[in-house]
Structure 1
Amino acid sequence: MTKGEFKFALQVEMVLNRIPQPEYRQLMVEAMMVLTMLVEYDNKRVNLSSLEIEVDKIVHEANNLFIKDLKMTPEVIDKAMGAANISLYFYDSAPSGRILVDLFGKMSDLGQQVNFADKETGVKSHPIFEAVKAGLLIPVQTLVETQGLPVLTLRDDKGHTPAHWACLGGHTAILRYMIENKIPIDEPSSNELGARPIHWACVNGHIAIVDILTQAGVELDAVDNKNCTPLIVAAQYGQTMLAGYLMGKGARLQLTDKDGDNALHWAAFKGHNELMRLLIYSGFNPRQKDNFGQTALHLACINGNITAVQELCEQDGVEIDIPDVNGKTPLQLAIGRKHDKIVNYLKKEVQTRNSILPRIDCWAIIFGPPGNSKGALLFFLVNVVLWGYPMYIFKCFPLTWNELPIYHLTFIFTNVVMWICLYHANTVDPGFLPRNIPEYDLAIKQVAHFDEWKQGQNPLSRLCHTCRTVKPIRAKHCRVCNRCVKEFDHHCPYIHNCVGYYNRMWFLAFLLSMAVLVALSDYFCYHIISSDQWDWLLAIGTVELFLVSVMTIYFSYYVLSIEGMSWYQIDYLVGFGLLAFFLLVVSCIAQTSIYHAAVNLTTNERINFKRYNYLKDGKGAFYNPFNRGLKNNFLEFLHLRPGMREEDVTLLGVHVV
């Protein structure tokens, strides 16, 4: 028996000793036995049908006896309610869980017998808080029926009401129950912050809770003791969709907290980039200062978020060298906190703004802008053009053509196919969605008139505030390209492009051709290494050894120490090892792409299916509504058959959000 189990057993024994009537004591013993069995069976996850008869018997006896004389302290009631939470697992599988909750509710049905003014615990440990936190409506109703509605106005040891905890947990049923019974749902906490339930709902982004509160008359711009509005709280916690809802409902944008910071200041400070873009688009001024003379750019530099800094610097009229009340500019703040990327970016930005001639960033042109590097693509090109082809043309081809002509013809033809596929995979638009479309503005404006929040529908979940567009089903915003892509699969650095609806077949063809080429190259390397007809020749691949990695250099040094090994054999031995590795990688990626085409899924959907409601069935398990059979899936992948429309997905019984 563990220490916790021993302590719980002592508490049960203390309760049993306080019960005068033997029948009540026996009832308590049986209840605890059933609870223990439920816990054990919960761990084993087996059917509880054999226990339901015993539970029904106990409940029947409880109804007859009514437990009027049973005395329990608030701690024991709290422990019983906490133990009842364990039975929630059985709500869907058997009625035992709900019966047990009712049983513990009857155990707390003490009426005037319970002394809630206990000096040691007082009202602060009342079980109503455990029931509300767990979202258990039945125990809440039981406590209200036995102890009256005032139980819903109590406060815990931190000064919070049950309404606060219901809003924080998103328990709509309990909140509606409170509203139906005229319970105050806008009382501030009795502590230094003085937050209201609507502020707590904004912490976790519960739009449905906020909607219920506003419909019940709660002020949309209610403030706490620090003058934080629900919109400011939503910005502090990065709740973008909730912020869009609040602004659509008419939340005042100009309100600030006691330090003069508005929602944009907080979004920039916390590094919530998408929310920051939405706020700027909705009318927030990025040049506005707080009481410390700091703009959103100052706060973004303090936080160290390079994307937020870039976004703010791109806004018209934003000054990057403006000092705060302490004389600190955004650049100085970034230097003081050693945010090197921001420091380099701001220095270049200052030079650009102070320069008469337009600045040309040659590094960005060659190697790509920050966050979207061409390094992987250049690595591939350098290896193929500066090492692979010279080795093939000057060494491999002359010595093996007579022996392997068919292999060479296949190699040359596949090379042509590979370059065509790479060109199209790199240059073809993968399916970028148009930006700044009117439908985005219309969706924002219609938030205030949307009456289906309580049904789980969210008109903001399909919006991209970066592209200012409405995303269709299966689309996703790519953080690297900074664009929304139709049927987004993934971003591939080796083609320096996203893989989406319009270039996915080119990407798959590129992978297959690469797999064939690497396999042929491996065979050529093996054939040359096993040959002993060569003389000492200059190693063309030496340069490549330095370009690949330090490990390759070490490997070449190790090979050089082998007695009798010639330079050309070293080159091809190294090449064989590298090509074998690339063959494994390319083959795995190609097989994965073929599998996704066969089942009509994208890489993004397979990895992140839990995020998308259209990939779940009624029980929340994975369900693929796009799978129309192997043949039709491949035809759709190759654009030989139109894809499914959203209306078709809805007809399958999948609710698209």
Structure 2
Amino acid sequence: MSGMEDAEIERVLREYDVFQAAKAGLLIPCQEIVDRLGVGVLHQYDREGHTPLHWAALGGHSHVVRFFIECRAPVDMSARNELGAQPIHWAASGGHVPVVDLLLEAGAAIDATDNKGCSPLITASQYARTNLTGYLLGRGARYQLVDREGDNALHWAAFKGNAEMCRLLIYSGFNPKQRDNFGQTPLHLGALSGNLNCVKVLVEQEVELEAVDFNGNSPKKLAEGRKHWETVRYLERSAARNIQKSVIPIFDLQSVIFGPPGRRKTTMHFMLGILIFLAYPTYFLRILPTVTLEGFPLANLIFWCANFVLWVNMIRTHNTDPGVLPRNTEEYSDKIKAVARYDKWEDGEENPLSRLCHTCRCVKPLRAKHCKIINRCIKRFDHHCAYVGNSIGYHNQHHFYLFVASTLVMLWTFHYIAYQTQHQEAKQDWWLLFCQMICGVFTFLVTPLFIGTTYNAVKNLTTNEQVNFRRYEYLKNSMGQFSNPFDRGAKENLKEFFHLKRSVEEVTTQNPAMSV
């Protein structure tokens, strides 16, 4: 090829940048560039050593990837850089199942490795792409593969602190006791991450808790070095249970009082301490002698009615099952097995992996979510409330609302009777001012919570949906804009919220796919 022809190609490439078009997912510009320059342009590398197919795969632009494949673009070209990743690795890093499916159908190797020995499965675990991991396992990816340092997908999932990924990989046959080139098991790496749920998943597999790596470090020692104290306490308790094999269980007073590691009740105890040791003594010993029952009967009645409702609903919210879904369901196993036979990744149908919870091994119904605090999937999950020590879901949402409402009424009533006490005595009381200041802090926190909970009840939304609505396809219309299919009007929504009417989860939307 002459120098003039080379210059002409460089000029056209500058004018029509195929790499930028592929990166942006612009199909028509990509088609025009290929028409002008020929399919050879798809064999070119940019300054960073990547092909156009790399960029299209990274962005998850399946329509562009399909066009490149139809133009006979090579699907197994490694990047010309230190990592040497193929397009399938880039698609795996983004968790783009349709793109990976297209590349595999076009001949890409499911176990292709980059220069660090990472396969697409290992790459997916590094980037916490659980759905893609399930897909690759269903398509037959080899789980025996390790990278240059001897780490497999389970090692990486543990290091990244991904409990759900760890459970999926163990369920699929990964060995939780396997060591890497440094003598570290997944538990060592999980302890480094400090993710308690991840460590719990690994400890459940009866791995050796005191195993040391080639540097003499145990999982507990590594957790101590990173100051992951909850993980340290959990490993200590687990080791103590392994030592004491008697019928009598170990009595852990600290866990009974303050809760087990990862589910501490410190916030709830703080609130109870404020009520029992500050608010009530102040009321009985300082306020009631001045603001008497005879002089202010309504204010005192409201105060005690609010306290009664508060305690009843706090206890009910704490003790009521929020809507925990069953574990280890047959439906989950059927969905996992069906992945290898599924061939409609681009047809707009619901992804068979999208509603799977690999931690609970169940298929989540619409509006359900896995709570990382109690480590269970919750029906119509709202949020986890540290003040009541429980998650809020379909079965205890109304108790929680009454708890919040009564708390707010009690706080404002306390403000009023404390003010009346100082007004009646015609002097300032610094203790009462201090109590009012504490009360004001709680009022500042509870008021927006009450407003938000009321709004969600009226609109038939959950806090999780309100905050993360962009993640859920069932909260979008055909134009991709927010749309609430559960809103049947304030009256009907409140009936449903307080369990006076059946829920409306069965509503069918144009695209019911749920993004986990």
TM-score by length of 2: 0.91
Match of 2:423 in 1: 530
Separation in 1, partners of 2:195, 2:403: 36
Separation in 2, partners of 1:375, 1:641: 36
Query: Could you list the per-position Cα deviations for residues 214-258 of structure 1 after superposition, in whole angstroms to 9, with x for gaps in the alignment?
Result: 222322222234432211111122111100110111212222223
Of 490, 508, 513, the match for 1:649: 508
Unaligned stretches of 5+ in structure 1?
Answer: 1-68, 82-126, 534-563
- Pair 1:656–1:194, CA change in 2 (3 A): closer
Kindly indicate whether the alpha-carbon contact (under 8 Å) linking 2:234 and 2:261 is maintained by their aligned counterparts in 1: no
Query: Could you list the per-position Cα deviations for residues 348-395 of structure 1 after superposition, in whole angstroms to 9, with x for gaps in the alignment?
Result: 443443345543221111111222221222122222222322332344
| Number of matched pairs | 507
Separation in 1, partners of 2:90, 2:255: 45
Kindly indicate whether the alpha-carbon contact (under 8 Å) linking 2:75 and 2:107 is maintained by their aligned counterparts in 1: no
Which of the pair has more CA radius of gyration? 1
Query: Could you list the per-position Cα deviations for residues 247-304 of structure 1 after superposition, in whole angstroms to 9, with x for gaps in the alignment?
Result: 1112122222233221111111222222112111211110012233221122223444
Separation in 2, partners of 1:158, 1:521: 66
- Letter of the 1:371 counterpart: G
Query: Could you list the per-position Cα deviations for residues 423-468 of structure 1 after superposition, in whole angstroms to 9, with x for gaps in the alignment?
Result: 2111111111111111111111111112221134321111111111
Kindly indicate whether the alpha-carbon contact (under 8 Å) linking 2:154 and 2:166 is maintained by their aligned counterparts in 1: yes
Separation in 2, partners of 1:603, 1:420: 23
Match of 1:331 in 2: 220
Match of 1:209 in 2: 99
Match of 1:138 in 2: 28
- Pair 1:427–1:337, CA change in 2 (3 A): closer
Match of 1:218 in 2: 108
- Structure 1 stretches of 4+ moved >6 Å: 69-72
Query: Could you list the per-position Cα deviations for residues 577-621 of structure 1 after superposition, in whole angstroms to 9, with x for gaps in the alignment?
Result: 222333343233222211111111111111111111111122222
Query: Could you list the per-position Cα deviations for residues 494-549 of structure 1 after superposition, in whole angstroms to 9, with x for gaps in the alignment?
Result: 1111121111111111222222222222111111112238xxxxxxxxxxxxxxxx
- Letter of the 2:301 counterpart: L
Higher relative contact order (CA 8 A, sep 6+): 2
Query: Could you list the per-position Cα deviations for residues 115-165 of structure 1 after superposition, in whole angstroms to 9, with x for gaps in the alignment?
Result: xxxxxxxxxxxx332322222222222222222222222233444332222
Of 435, 440, 446, the match for 2:338: 446
Match of 2:166 in 1: 276
Match of 1:112 in 2: none
Match of 1:287 in 2: 177
User: How much has 1:192 moved relative to structure 2?
Assistant: 4.5
410-419 vs 338-347, greater mean Cα deviation: 338-347
Q: State the secondary structure of the residue aligned to 2:424.
A: coil
Separation in 2, partners of 1:382, 1:597: 30
- Pair 1:278–1:573, CA change in 2 (3 A): same
Match of 2:251 in 1: 360
Separation in 2, partners of 1:579, 1:300: 41
Q: State the secondary structure of the residue aligned to 1:636.
A: helix
Match of 1:128 in 2: 18
Separation in 1, partners of 2:275, 2:79: 67
Query: Could you list the per-position Cα deviations for residues 302-335 of structure 1 after superposition, in whole angstroms to 9, with x for gaps in the alignment?
Result: 444444333322222x012223334433334444
279-288 vs 163-172, greater mean Cα deviation: 163-172
437-446 vs 151-160, greater mean Cα deviation: 151-160
Of 96, 117, 133, the match for 1:227: 117
- Pair 1:372–1:335, CA change in 2 (3 A): closer
- Letter of the 2:191 counterpart: C
Kindly indicate whether the alpha-carbon contact (under 8 Å) linking 1:163 and 1:185 is maintained by their aligned counterparts in 2: yes
Kindly indicate whether the alpha-carbon contact (under 8 Å) linking 1:626 and 1:649 is maintained by their aligned counterparts in 2: no
The structure whose residues are more often helix, as a share, is: 1
Separation in 2, partners of 1:338, 1:634: 46
- Pair 1:71–1:286, CA change in 2 (3 A): closer
- Pair 1:527–1:205, CA change in 2 (3 A): same
Kindly indicate whether the alpha-carbon contact (under 8 Å) linking 2:231 and 2:261 is maintained by their aligned counterparts in 1: no
- 1:74-223 correspondence to structure 2 within 5 Å: 77-81=12-16, 127-223=17-113
User: How much has 1:338 moved relative to structure 2?
Assistant: 5.1
Unaligned stretches of 5+ in structure 2?
Answer: none
Q: State the secondary structure of the residue aligned to 2:377.
A: strand
**2:447 maps to 1:587:** yes
Separation in 1, partners of 2:215, 2:305: 68
- Letter of the 2:146 counterpart: T
**2:214 maps to 1:322:** no
Q: State the secondary structure of the residue aligned to 1:582.
A: helix
